[in-house]
Homo-oligomer: A and B are copies of this chain.
């Protein structure tokens, strides 16, 4: 018995979600598992311990938090779920931006009906998937561009999520601040900053500050 692919859908138009779910459920390998009406809900969803979605279908334009902000959050926190952007725009600039933010697929709403199932299966296999009316060469070059850090390593080591404070400290470390300077900037005791440094090293599984900076750059935290 084959493992099902669990999919979560996020769009601010409920009718579109219903349509997507209807299409997805025609395939026996895929099962929808909840939906979100804005970016905030998506983030709450991924932070939910019982969340077992493999793939997220994400609209770009959503209230509260939009798709871009959600992708940024995912990237900074090293969220494992694969994201397919479902967009009304068929514009290279946008595809490019989404890719640089780490999405695995991009499907225009025009093409969603025919291609969404194919897309879900592809990204779940670890591939990238694109469906748009854009020039084929363009898509090839964009998708081959590997701006996505995970794209290079098939099995990225699973890292613990960073807290807000840890992220702030990491950002300041990347600005060549030392512990004392970080403490002054954040109005904390140096001992506190040292604690965060230690938990960063532990969570990101790196040896020293060099590994921290490389993580920060790869994940575009800086």
Contact = CB atoms under 8 A, between A and B. Distances in A.
B211 A214 contact: no
Interface string A165-185: 000000001111010000000
B210 A176 contact: yes
Nearest to A142: B141
A111 interface: no
Interface stretch (A24-32, A47-55, A201-209): A201-209
A1 interface: no
A206 B174 CA distance: 12
A138 interface: yes
A135 interface: yes
B176 A208 contact: yes
A210 B92 contact: no
A213 B210 CA distance: 7
